[in-house]
Amino acid sequence: MVDFGTAELTLEMIQASQLGMRAVGAGLAVGLTGVGTGLAEMGIGAAAVGATAENRDMFGLALLFTVIPETIVIFGLVVALLLLF
Amino acid sequence: MLRPERMRRLLIAAPKGEIETIIRELYRHNVYHIEDFVPESSSPEALSIGHPLPEASDAASALIKVRVIENACGIDPENVETRTKLPASKVRAMIRTDLPAIQKEAEDLIASRSRLEARQKEHEQRVKELEPFAAVPLDLELYRGYLRFTVFTGHITHDVVIDVPHEKYFSDKVDGNMIVVMVQNEHREQVERTLLDAGFQAIPVPDETGSPDERRKAHAEEARRLGDEIAAVNGKIAGIRERHADFLVACDELLTADVERAEAPLRFATTEETFITEGWVPEDRADRIQEALERATNGRIYIEKMEVEDDTAVPVEYQNPSFASPTQMLMDVYARPRYSEIDPTLMVAIVFPIFFGMILGDVGYGAILLGLSLGLRKFLKGDGAKNLLNVLGVASISSIIFGVLYSEFLGFSLPWAPLIFSRHLNIGGHAGGHGPQVAELMILAIWIGILHITLGRILGMLNARRLYHGRHATKAVIANAGWLGAMWGIILIIWAFYALPMMPDLTGSAITLPLGVVLLVGGVIGIAQENALEIVEIPTIISHVLSYARLVAVGLSSVAIAMVVNYIAIGMMIEPQLEAITPVGVILIIVGILVFLMGHMLNTALGLLGGGLHSIRLHYVEFFTKFYKGGGKKYNPFGMKSKFTEE
Which among B334, B553, B621 is the nearest to A77, CB-wise?
B553
Residues of A in contact with B331 (CB under 8 A): none
Tell me the percentage of chain B whose pLDDT exceeds 70. Answer: 98
Task: Compute φ and ψ for B278, nearest 5 degrees.
Answer: -115, 150
Residue pLDDT, tens place only, B211-260: 888 899 999 999 999 999 999 999 988 888 888 888 888 888 888 888 99
Nearest-Cα distance to chain A for B25, in Å, is 33
A81 and B553 within 8 Å at the Cβ level: the answer is yes
> At a CB cut-off of 8 Å and minimum separation 6, what does A31 contact?
A76
Number of C-beta neighbours around residue B533 at 10 A: 9
Report whether pLDDT(A5) > 80: no
**How far, in Å, CA of A67 to CA of B332, rounded?**
18
pLDDT mean across residues, chain B: 88
Nearest-Cα distance to chain B for A56, in Å, is 10
**How far, in Å, CA of B75 to CA of B245, rounded?**
7
Question: B181 vs B132, B141, B168, B213, CA distance in Å?
Answer: 14, 15, 4, 19
Burial of B155 (0-12, 13-18, 19+ CB in 10 A): middle
Which of these ranges, B31-35, B306-310, B468-472, has the smallest mean pLDDT? B306-310
- Chain A residues with CB under 8 Å of a chain B CB are 59-61, 63-64, 67-68, 70-71, 74-75, 77-78, 81-82, 84-85
Report whether pLDDT(A2) > 60: no
Residue B272: what pLDDT?
A: 85
B501 and B439 in contact (C-beta within 8 Å)? yes
Residues of B in contact with A59 (CB under 8 A): 333
Residue A1: what pLDDT?
A: 53
ipTM greater than cut 0.90: no
Mean pLDDT of B321-336: 89
Residues of A in contact with B621 (CB under 8 A): 64, 67-68
Q: Band of the pLDDT at B100, cuts 50, 70, 90?
A: confident
Residue pLDDT, tens place only, B192-210: 888 888 888 888 888 888 8
**How far, in Å, CA of A10 to CA of A2, rounded?**
11
- Picking from B54, B53, B55, B50, the residue whose alpha carbon sits closest to that of residue B276 is B50
**How far, in Å, CA of B398 to CA of B323, rounded?**
14
First-to-final CA distance of chain B: 34
B574 and B536 in contact (C-beta within 8 Å)? no
> At a CB cut-off of 8 Å and minimum separation 6, what does B197 contact?
B160
Q: Quick check: helix, strand or coil at residue B644? A: coil
CA angle B550, B555, B559 (to 5 degrees): 150
In a mutational test of the A interface, the residue from B617, B619, B623 whose CB has the highest number of chain A CBs within 10 Å is B617
Residues of A in contact with B622 (CB under 8 A): none
**How far, in Å, CA of B141 to CA of B209, rounded?**
5
Pairs of residues, one from chain A and one from chain B, whose beta carbons lie less than 8 Å apart:
56
Q: Is B546 in the A-facing interface, judged by CB distances under 8 Å?
A: yes
Report whether pLDDT(B43) > 70: no
Tell me the percentage of chain B whose pLDDT exceeds 90. Answer: 34
Q: Is B444 in the A-facing interface, judged by CB distances under 8 Å?
A: no
**How far, in Å, CA of A75 to CA of A35, rounded?**
13
Question: B642 vs B56, B86, B244, B296, B378, CA distance in Å?
Answer: 20, 10, 18, 22, 21
Mean pLDDT of A19-26: 91
Residue pLDDT, tens place only, B591-634: 999 999 999 999 999 999 888 889 998 998 899 999 998 888 89
- Picking from B65, B66, B69, the residue whose alpha carbon sits closest to that of residue B237 is B69
Residue pLDDT, tens place only, B121-148: 999 999 988 888 888 888 888 888 888 8
Q: Strands B166-171 and B178-184, how do they pair?
A: antiparallel
B442 and A82 within 8 Å at the Cβ level: the answer is yes
Using only C-alpha atoms, what is the Rg of chain B?
Answer: 37
Q: What is the DSSP letter of B638?
A: B
B632 sits in the region (left: phi over 0; alpha: psi -120 to 50; else beta) called beta
Mean pLDDT of B504-516: 89
Q: Is B423 in the A-facing interface, judged by CB distances under 8 Å?
A: no
